[in-house]
Amino acid sequence: MTTVCIIGGGASGMAAALTAAAQGRHAVLLERQARVGRKLLATGNGRCNLTNRHAAPDHYHGADVSFCAPALERFGVDDTLAWLEELGLLTVTEDSGRVYPYSNMAGSVVDVLRYALEDQGVEVHTGCTVTSLRRKGDCFTITTEDGQFTARQVILAAGGAAGSQLGGVMDGYRLAKGLGHHRTALYPALVQLKTEPTYPRALKGVKAQAALEIRRDREVLARGSGEILFTEYGVSGPAIFDLSRTVSTAGDGLMLHLDFLPQQQMEDTLALLQRQRQRSGSRPALTLLSGALHSRLGQMVCKAAGCTAGTAGELADEALEAIARQVHDFTLPILGTCSFDQAQVTAGGLRTDEFCPRTLESLLVRGLYACGGALGSGGACGGYNLQWAWSSGRLAGRTEHEA
Ligand SMILES: Cc1cc2nc3c(=O)[nH]c(=O)nc-3n(C[C@H](O)[C@H](O)[C@H](O)COP(=O)(O)OP(=O)(O)OC[C@H]3O[C@@H](n4cnc5c(N)ncnc54)[C@H](O)[C@@H]3O)c2cc1C
């Protein structure tokens, strides 16, 4: 029986191992951590946003965005959900298209995969770090801290550098480099932004809906919308994560522009403020926005407009205009992103032009395959990265070869 060795027991590695085993191969899964699926357990804040109903190539990035299309087409969202259901997992889809386990626990996803590995006879070695990978004749020699393995085919599923506390390491790139592969520059992506901290620190823990733009001077480099969360050092939340790739790669001099009431025009906001001034004239000026925004955010917006004391009734028209401007264009100088420790994914990775997109086999080394976060092809926030892990893992696990 042909032996396929899978390096890495994350989402993509487990998908690859189960596929190889289902094809009658002897699948050997090597995982450096004490258990498989450690990162998977932490996904979606412990709920595991395992895919997204809208997953399609246009939600993915990388040097060649079309690279991920064949894998997503051959094993898409419906195939993934049918496969996971067959393994015993019930799921639920939210209005946004995000799919979660019905139990709301990432542990359920890890458990069904773990049991399937056992049931399908995958040979799993945990606490087993691969230190080198060599090609000898028709076979690979895989050296670990505990001994050597030999396999006709190797699937590199060692993930990227992101989420270092959960097992994100550089090993996949290093092992591939030993066989002649290259990687692109690496940046943290789907990660919190560090900004000038005065306002965010005061708003720590406050969530808000906003339209966002990343600008350098007048040039808009990226825009988005959704929930943001103020933190000790800056801003976080799904809408921020989606813009973080731009911040990682665009250099210095960036500003974050936030519109807290994007559904209405500046004139509407001004009219609202005028009504509030008339209605609540004797109340503190800082309470003017309390019916529209989170109370702490409303106060901060008033302060940013220079209205720190006095009553609402004492505010001049110019002061109301300044507040309305802050509501629609609250700016924070961006200092950078947080590090790989906090990042969900790595922007960049193994060069995708060195792998065949239809099989995920290396174009340089026959019998070597790669999948998941190790490849320089990441997705947006919302389940897209795990979909890539499932799709690419399933494709690599077939160990196909194009003549
Ligand atoms: C906090 C957090 C939350 C996230 N939430 C979501 C979410 O809700 N939805 C979503 O779609 N994506 C999410 N992601 C991204 C998603 O987890 C990854 O895209 C996905 O796990 C990648 O799977 P993978 O198998 O390629 O890599 P990994 O899951 O990183 O697995 C790689 C495995 O390889 C092992 N390994 C590395 N080197 C070696 C070696 N030398 N020898 C043996 N084993 C090795 C590692 O220990 C690891 O277990 C999140 C990421 C993080 C960090």
- Residues 213-226: pLDDT tens digits? 999 999 999 999 99
Instruction: Give the model's pLDDT for residue 57.
Output: 87
Instruction: Give the model's pLDDT for residue 308.
Output: 86
CA dihedral 240→241→243→249, nearest 10 degrees, is: 130
Instruction: Find tokens 């300044």 and name the residue.
Output: 322
Is residue 282 over pLDDT 80? yes
Tell whether ligand 1 has an atom less than 6 A from the beta carbon of residue 378.
Answer: no
130, 142, 344: which to mutate for ligand 1, most atoms within 8 A of CB?
Answer: 344
**What's the mean pLDDT when you consider all of the chain?**
95
Instruction: Give the model's pLDDT for residue 59.
Output: 87
Instruction: Give the model's pLDDT for residue 378.
Output: 80
Q: Nearest C-alpha to atom 9 of ligand 1 is from which residue?
A: 383
Tens digit of pLDDT for each residue in 84-132? 999 999 999 999 999 999 999 999 999 999 999 999 999 999 999 999 9
C-alpha 10 to ligand 1 mean position (Å): 5
Percent share of the chain, pLDDT over 70: 100
Per the structure block, which two tokens stand in for 303?
């302060």
98, 385, 388, 390: which to mutate for ligand 1, most atoms within 8 A of CB?
Answer: 385
Task: Label residue 67 by pLDDT band (50, 70, 90).
Answer: very high
Instruction: Give the model's pLDDT for residue 1.
Output: 82
Query: pTM (2 decimals)?
Result: 0.92
C-alpha 159 to ligand 1 mean position (Å): 5
Q: Nearest C-alpha to atom 51 of ligand 1 is from which residue?
A: 344
Task: Label residue 331 by pLDDT band (50, 70, 90).
Answer: very high
C-alpha 316 to ligand 1 mean position (Å): 55
Is residue 62 over pLDDT 90? no
Q: Measured between alpha carbons, how far is 264 from 3 in angstroms, rounded to an integer?
A: 61
Tell whether ligand 1 has an atom less than 6 A from the beta carbon of residue 8.
Answer: yes
Tell whether ligand 1 has an atom less than 6 A from the beta carbon of residue 273.
Answer: no
Is residue 377 over pLDDT 80? no
The pair phi, psi for residue 387, each rounded to 5°, is -60, -40
Is residue 64 over pLDDT 90? no
Tell whether ligand 1 has an atom less than 6 A from the beta carbon of residue 38.
Answer: yes
Domains of the chain, CATH where assigned: 3-186+348-397 (3.50.50.60), 192-338 (no CATH)
Instruction: Give the model's pLDDT for residue 399.
Output: 97
